[in-house]
Amino acid sequence: MSAAKSSTATATTATADRPQGPPSGAYVGRFAPTPSGALHLGSLYAAVASYLDARAHRGRWLLRIEDLDRPREVAGSAAGIVRTLQEFGFQWDGEVVRQRDRSELYAAALNSLQARGLTFECSCSRLQLEDESRYPGTCRGQPHAAGVPTATRLRVEAGRIQFGDRIQGAYRQDLNGAVGDVILKRRDQIYAYLLAVVVDDAEQGVTHVVRGADLLDNTPRQIYLQQCLGLGLPQYAHVPVLTEPDDAKLAKSRRSVHLDAQRALPQLLSVFSLLGLAPPSSLKGSTVADAWDWAIAHWDIQRVPKRLNMRLVD
């Protein structure tokens, strides 16, 4: 596995400095949607931020479909996501990667952790843990119930994870105190998002991750696992999450803003504005390609707001 060495880390504490920008050709970014439905305005917002940051640094931009959780996948949505990105003018580098084809990589990483005694099997169900604010370590010694399917958990030791987010600033978390031992492989034998995303980012040489702030508190878990696997840390940047009028995340499963290929240009210009850019009125009569060229030339991640006070309306 290849990995970016852009941050330093100790066994239990990580610190990632805020970069001034990578040298030409060194940047590798990615967009990794889950095929549980069509892309909406919120997902477009995150994709645009990731794409602009990569292209402004003359870097590569990868597309990865995170489809490990097959029960949640909506038939045809992966193809729909790819088609929508094409209609909105995104151009990715290399083949589209699908997690369902990468189980051998996840198994190898998990085996290496198991061989070093860093994992344990847990028989606890969600129902048994529903009243717990964090995993209490019930099965750290051995599964408390015999003859039932088990999940594989990573042993999370005491210590604070800290990193510098390029948008949100300094972020720190006592991972053990906040969540406890985290799942790497579920009881249904599906590899967890945590393991897959860390392995994929390293194997693909991702140096910069730009994504929604709903994953900000998940990042310390990824950093801890990167440390355990001996991987370098990407630089992270978390854009604010677009919200509905009731403050809920703009979600695929609820009322959302439909992406319309016939309105690709005005929808892109709206997203550019939300990201701190100020598109001139002349762009309204331009092509999608011209709009992308303008946005790439004017991109400045320091202008992205930490939070969005606006509320989407019907």
Cα distance between residue 277 and residue 275, in whole Å: 6
Bridge partners, 174 (sequence order): 160
Q: Which pTM value belongs to this model?
A: 0.88
Which domains, ranges and CATH numbers included, belong to the chain? 8-303 (3.40.50.620)
The tens digit of pLDDT for each residue in 21-76 reads 444 459 999 999 999 999 989 899 999 999 999 999 999 999 999 999 988 899 99
The tens digit of pLDDT for each residue in 154-181 reads 999 999 999 999 999 999 999 999 999 9
Cα distance between residue 176 and residue 185, in whole Å: 18
229 and 112 in contact (C-beta within 8 Å)?
Answer: yes
The tens digit of pLDDT for each residue in 211-257 reads 999 999 999 999 999 999 999 999 999 999 887 655 666 554 344 57
Closest CA relative to residue 108, chosen from 20, 21, 195: 195
Q: What DSSP assignment string belongs to 169-229?
A: EEEEEEHHHHT-SEEEE-TTSPBPHHHHHHHHHHHTT--EEEEEGGGGGGHHHHHHHHHHH
Go through the chain and tell me how many residues it has.
314
